[in-house]
Amino acid sequence: MAEITMRLPVARKAVAPSAPRGGEKHLVAPGDTITTDTGYMRGHGTYVDEEKLIASVAGAVERVNKLVCVKALKTRYNGEVGDIVVGRITEVQQKRWKVETNSRLDSVLLLSSVNLPGGELRRRSAEDELAMRDYLQEGDLISAEVQSVFSDGAVSLHTRSLKYGKLGQGVLVQVSPSLVKRQKTHFHDLPCGASVILGNNGFIWIYPTPEQKDEEAGGFTTNLEPVPLSDREVISRLRNCIVALVTQKLMLFDTSILYCYEASLPHQIKDILKPEVMEEIVLETRQKLLDLEG
Amino acid sequence: MASVVLSEAEKLYIVHGVQEDLRVDGRGCEDYRCAEVETDVVSNTSGSARVKLGHTDILVGVKAEMGTPKLEKPDEGYLEFFVDCSANATPEFEGRGGEELGTEIANTLYRVFSSESSVDLKSLCINPREHCWVVYVDVLLLECGGNLFDAISIAVKAALFNTRIPKVRVLEDEEGSKEIELSDDPYDCIRLNVVDVPCIVTLSKIGYRHVVDATLQEEACSLASLLISVTSKGALTSMKKVGKGSLDPESIFEMMEMGKRVGKALHIALQKILDEEESLGTSRQKVGFLG
């Protein structure tokens, strides 16, 4: 039976800020004066004008000893060495692939930075160059790590580990990079029955947990078998929970996603995206997270 | 149309999901995304409406102007449609990129409203063969998130419901020349009867089943779609097939049945929200664009 709901738009009301922990955040908009003290070194997101330090982006001020910088709330991904990213191949060029990672420039994945099948270590030959498209085509999704950052800001990726490589069946959610919390590991096997890769560039990949770890888990062969319905329900629910957390601007990390999942269990999967249900679930998640800290 | 690139595995996941009646966001094959409808958002129009269906954002403005009736229909007014795909929606629409899609949508709207019973055009006539109301319907695409035709038709119906055309009187002089007098009272106006205005339902064929209200990702997996326009009583006024794939005649019949069912439910939901908004009257808080 078709279910169609329409509603009148409701003006967004300011959410009451949660109890400040560890001091209030100093939020600035472009053009706001951060400080008039000249003793500070200026970092990213600031500039000096008439002896005043002024913000050039909208975000929170971060102060480390004498260095003042502004971390923008909504920005493109700025690569840093060691970050895990999920990207989509946009071009296949001569000895490299161009990967879209939601940054200002397309990222680069060199042929020499991927693992050859069988794990051989040898020089890449002309045959390897011609076979590039057999491995990664335009539109494919990969998980990779940032190897280095070029001077113009472009990022160079590598998949030189068995846990990186081409991604198979699953769901991609695109969020702002500033909402993904930096953690020790970004690959999570959630107890609810699905796995999640939280890319630092804001691309979140949700996929069914593979039963056994194959040796070729570098992802040369994609599993094209249909995913069972129970796994699909978990994945759809997780996807809606992540969208709910992002709409309410909560940081994304494995605990917050898990709490949100548990809070959403009494509702139907498609109801999670309704505004009132979203608010209720995220409020509960926020409460649980505060209890965890306190 | 704006499109996303997907990997083969992602497309396979979506197709298998549709097969089992569980789409990526948890909806069934016949469910619409949550829609937000608001009318009277643009102040200098005769009627306007804004519809947000997921990530698809449409703004419709209706202006009624005096004009001469068409030669073949001297005692009726008429509707003119114009669709503007703004570059806000997607970079592909920059410059003249959106013209092709705009004309396609406008032609579809002409076809949908070509049936005589959709809008009572005789009520738009002032003086047969001399004066009539021409209703200009302008559609603006603000954001492209899949399922454009449905959202546009919902917005057009809501805008026509909201349209208020001033009442005019025709005065005749002794010499026989006619003069048109506009009523002084700004609230003295005629409303259009939108009970029979059809809504478009797009059914996209994904794998062996079809879905309603496809997102951009689902549209990338679908090779063929059927656009049908349904009135609130379940009558079909027009049908159009889009896409490079082929459709089996049996599946066309199934899609038509599903479309009629879904279309009737869509009209009920839309009429309910329009009546609710109307009942709030002038005390309604307008959200507009900065909500």
Across B85-96, average pLDDT: 86
Q: Is the pLDDT of residue B95 over 70?
A: yes
pLDDT, one tens digit per residue, over B185-196 is: 777 888 888 899
Amino acid at A11: A
User: Which residues of A fall within a CB distance of 8 Å from B30?
Assistant: 1-3
Chain-chain contact of B23 with A272 (C-beta, under 8 angstroms): no
Tens of pLDDT along chain A (294 residues) come to 677 888 888 776 666 666 555 557 888 999 988 888 878 888 888 888 888 889 999 998 988 888 998 988 888 998 899 999 999 999 999 889 999 999 999 999 999 888 877 667 777 788 888 888 888 989 999 999 999 999 998 999 999 888 898 999 999 999 999 999 989 999 999 998 899 999 999 999 999 998 765 544 555 667 788 889 999 999 999 999 999 999 988 899 999 999 999 999 999 998 999 888 999 999 999 999 999 887
Report the gap between the CA of A161 and the closest CA in chain B (Å): 21
Pairing assessment for the beta strands A27-28 and B56-67 based on DSSP bridges:
unpaired
Give the Cβ contact number of residue A57 at 10 Å.
17
- H-state helical runs in chain B: 8-19, 99-112, 148-162, 216-221, 249-280
- Which of B17, B31, B270 is the closest to A2 by Cβ? B31
- Which of B19, B36, B269 is the closest to A4 by Cβ? B269
Q: Is the pLDDT of residue B41 over 80?
A: yes
- Check residue B84 and give left, alpha or beta (phi > 0: left; psi -120 to 50: alpha): beta
Beta bridge partners of B182: B168
Chain-centre distance for alpha carbon A243: 12
Split at pLDDT 50, 70, 90, the class of B94 is confident
Q: Which CATH architecture has domain B8-280?
A: 2-Layer Sandwich (3.30)
CA pair distance A62, A67, nearest whole angstrom? 8
For chain B, the helix, strand and coil percentages under 3-state DSSP, each to the nearest 5: 30, 30, 40
Mean pLDDT, chain B, rounded, equals 89
- Check residue A92 and give left, alpha or beta (phi > 0: left; psi -120 to 50: alpha): beta
Amino acid at A130: L
Q: Say whether A141 sits in a helix, a strand or coil.
A: strand
Q: Say whether B66 sits in a helix, a strand or coil.
A: strand
Q: What domains can be seen in chain A, in order of their start residue? A: 27-72 (2.40.50.100)
- Which of B31, B276, B287 is the closest to A10 by Cβ? B287
CA pair distance A168, A224, nearest whole angstrom? 8
Higher pLDDT, B117 or A142: A142
| Best of B6, B20, B24, B283 to mutate (most A CBs within 10 Å, chain A) | B24
Q: What's the pLDDT at A172?
A: 95
pLDDT, one tens digit per residue, over B214-243 is: 999 999 999 999 999 999 998 999 999 999
Q: Is the pLDDT of residue B252 over 80?
A: yes
Across B267-272, average pLDDT: 93
Q: Say whether A232 sits in a helix, a strand or coil.
A: helix
Torsion angle of alpha carbons B201, B202, B205, B210, nearest 10°? -30
Chain-chain contact of A4 with B35 (C-beta, under 8 angstroms): yes
User: Which residues of A fall within a CB distance of 8 Å from B28?
Assistant: 3, 270
CA pair distance B206, B120, nearest whole angstrom? 38
CA pair distance B202, B134, nearest whole angstrom? 29
The ipTM estimated for the assembled molecules is: 0.89
- Check residue B161 and give left, alpha or beta (phi > 0: left; psi -120 to 50: alpha): alpha
- Which of B7, B285, B287 is the closest to A140 by Cβ? B7
Q: Is the pLDDT of residue B96 over 80?
A: yes
Q: Say whether B41 sits in a helix, a strand or coil.
A: coil
| Best of B10, B264, B268 to mutate (most A CBs within 10 Å, chain A) | B10
Q: Is the pLDDT of residue B104 over 90?
A: yes
Chain A, nearest residue to B211 by Cα:
A2
Chain-chain contact of A2 with B13 (C-beta, under 8 angstroms): no
Whether A293 and A255 have beta carbons less than 8 Å apart is answered as no
Integer CA distances (angstroms), B243 to B74, B206, B250, in order: 38, 12, 18
Whether B202 and B225 have beta carbons less than 8 Å apart is answered as yes
| Best of B5, B13, B261, B267 to mutate (most A CBs within 10 Å, chain A) | B13
